Structure 1
Amino acid sequence: MQRAMEILEAVGVFGAGVFARVGLFLAMVAVFLVPALLVAAALRGVAARRERKLGIRSVAGVPFRPDLFYTPGHLWLHRRPGGAVEIGLDGLAQRLMPSVTAVEFARPGTHVEPGAPIATLHGGGRALSIPAPLAGKIAGVNAAALRDPGIVKREGYGRGWLVAVEPEDLGYAALPHGGIGETWMRREAERWNRFVEQRLGFATADGGALVAPAPWLLGEEGWRALAAEFLR
């Protein structure tokens, strides 16, 4: 009987020790994890409010901001009060770069013609040259993107703009925007799906949702083909 009591006592001590260690581990997890989750939730909330303020919504799986002008090469233009236009990547172009870790910009004051490089984005072992969508003079570059290149993806329809150009004329005002821009973006999303399926062999998800295959899955040739088709 005495022996049994000693065994039960040892088991109890062992169980209490294990319980204490588990409790300590869970407490430590809570100390570090809960604040991280709260910060992440707060950041998501801030991002959601920012998108609502800008009117950003999803069109066929692509983020879309109706007050911007959209070029055939999937850049957006936003007119500043002084007349210069900010240029950034639309939702489809952003899918070509799952991450942006470095940026290079054309020098302010440089005169550019359509197709001339105005920026180069680096990330995931890829480099993406951004062509000028219009003629004009580089009025400024986004210093915030130089300090934090990830903003090009994180806030691609706002603070993640690339360069500002003083255009030679107002021809860009005829580009798709508003309701026409939304219809155009929907067609382009469908074209992206067809290109990825028929040319690159990737199937769309159930329901025809937009596919964004990772660049390392496409291979160099496939990625270049996608970039040449949608960013020109």
Structure 2
Amino acid sequence: MQSVLEVLQSIGVFTLGILARFGLFLAMVAVIVVPALIIALVVRGRAERRERALGIRDVDGVPFRPDLFYAPGHLWLHRRPGGRAVELGLDGIAQRLMPAVTAVDLARPGTRVARGETIATLHGGGRALEIPAPVDGTVVGVNVSVVRDPALVKRDGYGRGWLVALAPADEAYASMPRAGAAESWMRREAQRWNHFVEHQLGFAAADGGTLVAPAPWLVGEEGWAALTQAFLRP
């Protein structure tokens, strides 16, 4: 009988030890995970409020901001208040070319560029993405925030993730689509993207027709060149 009690006592001590360790583990997880989850929810909430404030909405799987001008090479242009300069950034389709942006090189203020010349280079995923100027003009400002935090190009691509400010040589950009015309154009471009990556690159569209964004290192040199040529230099 004494042996049985000793065995039961040992089992009880062992079980309590396991439970104590498990409880300690849960406490450690709670200390680490819960604050991280709260921070993530706060950041996401701020991002959603900012998107609503900018009027950003989904257009066939592409984020779209209606008050901007859109260039054929998937740059957006936003006229600065009280001046001729326009800020330039990547629209939702161009952002899909890079799964992440880890470094940004920008043309220096004072640089004169012709349409099609490189005004910025984005690095990420083992690739360098050269961004062509949508119009002739002079660089009058750069966004130092994206140099310090390149992830802004994708995290806040329609706002704080702009690249350079350009003083256009003329007002021809005002004829580029915006609002309803730009939305219709974006829908067509979304369909063209899906068709291109499926039939030209061999990546099937996801269920529900969601845009496919193949990783740059998976498409090969020829595929990467074809993709960037088709959408950044149409």
TM > 0.5? yes
Specify the alignment match of 1:197 in structure 2: 198
Given residue 142 of structure 1, which amino acid in structure 2 is its aligned partner?
A: N
Q: CA deviation at 1:205?
A: 1.4
Q: TM-score, normalised by structure 2?
A: 0.98
1:74 lines up with 2:67 in the alignment? no
* CA–CA separation in structure 1 for the residues paired with 2:61 and 2:208: 11
What's 2:144 paired with? 143
The superposition leaves residues 39-76 of structure 1 with CA deviations (integer Å, 9 ceiling, x where unpaired) of 00000000000000000011000000000000110000
Q: Partner of 1:72: helix, strand, or coil?
A: coil
3-state DSSP of counterpart to 2:76: strand
2:17 counterpart residue number: 17
In the other structure, the counterpart of 1:169 is: 170
Residue 220 (structure 1) shift: 2.1
Q: State the 4+ residue runs in structure 1 displaced beyond 6 angstroms.
A: none
Q: Quick one: distance in 2 between partners of 1:116 and 1:223?
A: 19
Which residue number in structure 2 is paired with residue 128 of structure 1?
129
Q: Kindly, what percent of the aligned residue pairs are identical?
A: 69
Q: Which consecutive unaligned segments of at least 5 residues does structure 2 have?
A: none
Aligned pairs for 1:77-226 within 5 A: 77-81=77-81, 82-226=83-227
> 3-state DSSP class of the match of 2:174?
helix
Gaps of 5+ in 1: none
Taking structure 1 as the reference length, the TM-score comes to 0.98
1:184-209: per-residue Cα shift (whole Å, max 9, x none)? 00000000011111111111112222
- 1:107 deviates by 1.2
- How many angstroms apart in 2 are the aligned matches of 1:171 and 1:224? 29
**Alpha-carbon contact 2:121-2:131 (below 8 Å) kept:** yes
Q: Give the Cα separation in 2 of the matches to 1:28 and 1:227.
A: 46
2-side partners of 1:41 and 1:207: how far apart?
A: 27
| Displacement after TM superposition at 1:215 (Å) | 1.3
* Residue type of the alignment partner of 1:68: L
How far apart, CA to CA, are the structure 1 residues paired with 2:55 and 2:178?
Answer: 13
Q: Which amino acid aligns with 2:145?
A: A
**Take 2:128 and 2:218, find their aligned partners in 1: how far apart are those partners?**
16
Structure 1 residues 119-174: Cα deviation after superposition (integer angstroms, max 9, x where no partner):
00001110000000001110100010111111111110000000000111111111
Residue deviations 1:55-107, cap 9 Å, x none? Answer: 00110000000000001100000000112000000000000011111111111
The alignment partner of 1:53 has SS state of helix
Q: CA RMSD in A?
A: 0.7
Q: Distance in 1 between matches of 2:226 and 2:118?
A: 18
Q: Which residue of 2 aligns with 1:42?
A: 42
Matched-pair contact (CA < 8 Å) for 2:126–2:216: no
Which amino acid is the alignment partner of residue 3 of structure 2?
Answer: R
